[in-house]
Structure 1
């Protein structure tokens, strides 16, 4: 039997698997097996964030996939950092195929999101504008982008907020800033790159339960709009179901 293994945890444990399986490699359009309406037009990301698995899995240089299948969910890691002509190529392919872009899922990089990028993607993006606010150093860039999107509905300004990588107060400040700037936070607790389980990893003054509680509170507008985190009780019932696999409510 031939076995091939992949996924984030594998890339940090190669020596344990090398004798029993083929590690990594490329399976064209593998994302469609996870989500049949998803596609990828590029791999890799030049930013190289220390907490991100993408550089280890796909590299810090972009690999462009010009003949990608056009589907409603686009999962590229960093759309705004792609070469401008390739961004134009992606958009032209969507327009030619008549396929709506319902979700640019991994989103844009605040440092490289400018007026040209906004105008370019505004032509086809029918879903939320997704960005990351990973640490305090990104504050001026995220604030600039949120002001650029001032006329966009809050539900279409979804900001990935990493928590646990900084002390509790700093992370909560970032969540509250996203809300104050007219967006909706999507909180993601920090996890170790070599984790084999979907369990948050506490650092600084965090613990695992606190990471889960903040994610549950922040990822439901029905909760944070009515209740400050200081008054939040995890025993409170909601009509929504929290999915720990995605960190979102269904």
Structure 2
């Protein structure tokens, strides 16, 4: 695939968007653009109309293919640097859980698939800890030889944490590890995982153990959301609010303002001390 000249077009830029010379973000073709293929990569369902418009604009340049998580189709093997910036890596796809708000089980058919392990240090697997012990061993060996400290940004499942795994994670000296607090049933496993990580040598003050906290879903209130953020903090994690969106991408502006106060890594520690350490 990489032998071809493939221009990759993205409807929006994220932290993971690649930045090589063949990447275009929200751009129509210029007079000088030449390619064997054009790939439109769509991460979010609410970007589909704009992505389809981009596909029409790029059609005169080369055959256009569209894909990405927004299409709810199983992903293939991970190609480093192709649709995610160098350093990002996916070693497995899918998750055995059936969370009501998550599109991953629908996209991957409720299965977890282990992929060939490629180099990278920003791990974005859907549920790495649900993989086989052999696969996890291979991933950890790969991370130990990278030029940067690993980051686990895809979300590690607290219910699958063990004291031995906590020690192994500590041995990797990660820059950050994200867990998740999405439903009430997540709290007890999160508290148990937090204790294991602290016992393994992680320190709350370093803010390495972190936790996505889902907010703004139907029936939620900002008071309830704040309480969940506090529970994650007391369990040993730096909380980060993740704003729920439906397939249209709509969200309440008040919820968006609230989320911004709890998603900035420079502000969140101050907020935690202000609200949860009185």
Q: Shorter-chain-normalised TM-score: which range?
A: 0.7 to 0.9
User: In the alignment, is the contact (CA less than 8 A) between 1:70 and 1:99 conserved in 2?
Assistant: no
Give CA deviations for 1:134-193 in whole Å, capped at 9, x if unaligned: 02121111111111122422211210000022521332221011222332111011011x
SS at match of 1:185: strand
Q: Quick one: structure 1 residues 10 and 120, their matched pair in 2 at CA, closer, same or farther if it must change by over 3 Å?
A: same
Please list every run of 5 or more consecutive structure 1 residues that lacks an aligned counterpart in the other structure.
202-207, 230-250
Q: Which residue of 1 aligns with 2:268?
A: 221
Q: Quick one: structure 1 residues 130 and 92, their matched pair in 2 at CA, closer, same or farther if it must change by over 3 Å?
A: same
Of structures 1 and 2, the one with the larger relative CO (CA 8 A, separation 6+) is 1
Q: Which residue of 2 aligns with 1:55?
A: 105
Deviation of 1:105 (Å): 1.3
TM-score, with length taken from structure 2: 0.66
TM-score, with length taken from structure 1: 0.72
Give CA deviations for 1:87-114 in whole Å, capped at 9, x if unaligned: 011112333x454442011131011112
Task: Say if 2:231 is the partner of 1:187.
Answer: no
User: In the alignment, is the contact (CA less than 8 A) between 2:191 and 2:236 conserved in 1?
Assistant: no
User: In the alignment, is the contact (CA less than 8 A) between 2:155 and 2:177 conserved in 1?
Assistant: yes
Q: Quick one: structure 1 residues 173 and 76, their matched pair in 2 at CA, closer, same or farther if it must change by over 3 Å?
A: same
- State how far apart, in whole Å, the 2-side matches of 1:177 and 1:188 are: 15
Q: Of the candidates 208, 216, 219, which is equivalent to residue 164 of structure 1?
A: 216
Please list every run of 5 or more consecutive structure 2 residues that lacks an aligned counterpart in the other structure.
1-35, 57-63, 68-74
Give 1 or 2 for the bigger CA radius of gyration.
Answer: 2
- Number of positions where the alignment pairs a residue of Structure 1 with one of Structure 2: 215
